[in-house]
Amino acid sequence: MEKIYLSIIIPAYNEEKSIGNTLLAIDYYLSKQNYSYEIMVVSDGSKDKTTKIVKNFANLIQNLKLIDSQPNHGKGYVVRLGMLEAKGQYRLFMDADNSTSLKHLEKMWPYFKEGYQIVIGSRDKKDVKGARQAVPQPFLKRQLGNLGNLLIQIVAVSGIWDTQCGFKTFTAKAAKDIFSRCLINRWGFDIEALALARRLDYKIAIIPVNWINNPDSRVSWKGYLRTFVELFKIKWNLMTDKYKLKH
């Protein structure tokens, strides 16, 4: 049986407007590569036509799979499900609206060759030169994000300003080791995964991405608040060894 080189995991919740174009863009890019791959859409209890569209595209797009997770649990839950179900030597999760183009993968491969086990995208110039957002966030949201990022660094993940960018690749070993321990089901899962990566001594590299803002983004003010609650839950889990890091 041929080993799969790359797994693409796409968490999706009610993405009927964008998932088709995203799958076409991914297929166009991957069909030109010389490695094996799988594309895995993990629906998080979608109530629209997301799963129907993915099933239809499975007849057109090579190696496309659907996991229809029911009911809705949260982005963290379905990313975890996809990461542990995937077969690739490298496992990337990306947003269903294609806000970060798959072409950014080309910046990641050199870091893996250097021995890094995790490479993440960042939209923040404080992380890496060249990062940019095509459409800047509103001032208040930007300020809240900066304060939140500072808090995240103090509490859980120092030295990374953009922990929430939905474009992260893990080696198979790192993915299994980290996501098998994860407990956060919603927006705070990125913080949890990076905090665990640090505790498990995995090397993390950061690449700049050109992020195209989705005007239909579902991250509400309530979502921001919940993420901060989850941040302190992660800290508590680390302090009480809920992740079973101590042997």
- CATH code: domain of residue 216: 3.90.550.10
- The answer as to whether 245 is a domain residue is no
95 touches 165 (CB < 8 A): no
What is the identity of the amino acid at 222?
K
Does residue 98 lie within any of the structural domains? Answer: yes
DSSP at 187: T
- Structurally, the chain folds into a number of domains equal to 1
What is d(CA 225, CA 214) in angstroms, rounded to the nearest whole number?
A: 20
Q: Are 211 and 133 in contact (CB under 8 A)?
A: yes
Give CA–CA dist 234/188, Å, rounded. Answer: 8
Q: Is residue 63 part of a domain?
A: yes
Summarised one tens digit per residue, pLDDT across range 62-95 is 999 999 999 999 999 999 999 999 999 999 999 9
In 86-129, where does DSSP find H-type helix? 105-113
Q: Which of 57-71, 179-193, 203-217 has the lowest mean pLDDT?
A: 203-217
- Give per-residue pLDDT as tens, 86-132: 999 999 999 999 999 999 999 999 999 999 999 999 999 999 999 98
Q: Is residue 35 a part of any domain in this protein?
A: yes
Give the residue numbers spanning the domain of 176.
Answer: 6-239
Distance CA 114, CA 24 (A): 31
Q: Is residue 139 part of a domain?
A: yes
* pLDDT score for 146: 74
Report if residue 25 sits inside a domain.
yes
DSSP secondary structure code for residue 104 in this structure:
G
Query: What CA dihedral angle connects 42, 177, 120 and 106, to 10 degrees?
Result: -80
Position of tokens 């968490």? 11
Helix ranges, the chain (H): 19-30, 50-57, 75-85, 105-113, 139-155, 172-179, 189-199, 221-239
Domain assignment present for residue 222? The answer is yes
Q: Report if residue 244 sits inside a domain.
A: no
Q: In the beta sheet, which residues pair with residue 94? A: 167
